Amino acid sequence: MINVKKEGIILNKTDLEFENEGVLNPAVIREGDSVHLFYRAVSTGNHSTIGYCRLDGPLTVAERWDKPMMIPEFDYETQGVEDARIVKINQLFYMTYTGYDGINARGALATSRDLNHFKKQGLIVPPVTYATFVSLAESAGKVNKNYYRNHKFYYRKADPEKKMMLWDKNVIFFPRRINGNLVFLHRIRPGIQLVSINSIKELTNNFWENYFNHLEEHIVFDPVYKHESSYIGGGCPPIETEHGWLLIYHGVEKTSRGNVYSACAALLDLDNPLKEITRLPFPLFSPEYEWELKGEVNNVVFPTGTALFGNTLFIYYGAADTHIACASVSLSALLAELLTSTIRDEK
């Protein structure tokens, strides 16, 4: 079993109005010796903005803003900008986040050249209702039925005028173009899917209709193990290694004490990240401390960003939807464990 060290809580909520309910799920990027955190800040009434913090090295807080760096501006994000992730492709930073309007939660994109000024590019996930998705997925005929068994979630609203759009979250770009294309992960329950495009402009209604008519071709992987049996979703931006793209993702298991969110790990092929090389048959780490077990949402470790210092990979995560915490692991040891899992699977 891989040795993971829980480094503890990095950030707590404050008395400031924009983050008085919780801080969680940061986008993370290392530039030089600094680690930049763009974290979800929650205020009373479950309204979310993006706060900013800079670390000196992997763990020491050097700067923290006393106001949000990103706030809701458009109809699709009236109640929150949430759960950001960030990568740098060439000289442009791509920050993806979830826009929440009080009913729908969907993936959006903002870009920057300096980490200070971000330009919102709008929603980049399919603009379809759940009913439309079900129709397209069923017509495809080869998709896991769990993809369209979420009726209780989507039809819980009594008001028929408030049609719920397809929730498509955890949008995460790969940190470079692959075969000339921009590539990103996204999550329609219960699995993780992939989009490969030359330009964001390609994401038209026709694109998504064709995509869903061939959905099985775009699924990276679905739940397999007990700790991820309810559903899985992207966590941290993929990390390029000589053995493949290292993906730290989250898995959810329904238990007698409610849903338990764990951090998981897998390797994807460098040239074709739709191809899963291997994944750990057990959680990389799970809730175990009080600050992970009890909070706004209990039993949650939710990884959203990493920073590599030497051979040590620091994984930043939301703890019980209340705190931002960090765990560390030897990158080489983690890769060795993943490759060993492949050998075991082949036996």
Residue type at 317?
Y
Which residues are paired to 264 by β-bridges?
Answer: 249
DSSP state of 215: G
Per-residue pLDDT for 162 more than 60?
Answer: no
Q: What percent of the chain has pLDDT over 90?
A: 86
CA atoms within 13 A on the CB side of 199: 3
DSSP state of 165: B
Residue 286 vs residues 12, 300, 315: alpha-carbon distances, Å: 20, 8, 13
Query: 84, 40 in Cβ contact below 8 A?
Result: yes
Q: Give CA–CA dist 166/199, Å, rounded.
A: 23
- Please tell me whether the peptide bond between 190 and the residue prior to it is cis, using omega within 30 degrees of 0: yes
Query: 308, 30 in Cβ contact below 8 A?
Result: yes
Which helix (H) or strand (E) is 119 found in, with range? strand 119-123
Q: Give CA–CA dist 112/108, Å, rounded.
A: 14
User: What pLDDT score was predicted for residue 130?
Assistant: 86
**Tell me: the pLDDT tens digits for 38-52?**
999 999 999 999 999
The band of 347, judged by pLDDT with boundaries at 50, 70 and 90, is very low
User: What pLDDT score was predicted for residue 156?
Assistant: 55
Q: Give CA–CA dist 210/328, Å, rounded.
A: 41
Which residues are paired to 64 by β-bridges?
Answer: 53
Q: Lowest mean pLDDT: which of 24-28, 52-56, 140-144, 188-192? A: 140-144
Q: Which of 116, 82, 78 is nearest to 296 (CA)?
A: 82
Q: How many CB atoms lie within 10 A of CB 135?
A: 13
Average pLDDT (134-149) is 77
Q: Give CA–CA dist 233/326, Å, rounded.
A: 19
The band of 261, judged by pLDDT with boundaries at 50, 70 and 90, is very high
Per-residue pLDDT for 16 more than 90?
Answer: yes
Give the position of tokens 């099985």.
216
Q: Give CA–CA dist 127/83, Å, rounded.
A: 20
Q: Give CA–CA dist 338/265, Å, rounded.
A: 8
Q: Give CA–CA dist 278/341, Å, rounded.
A: 7
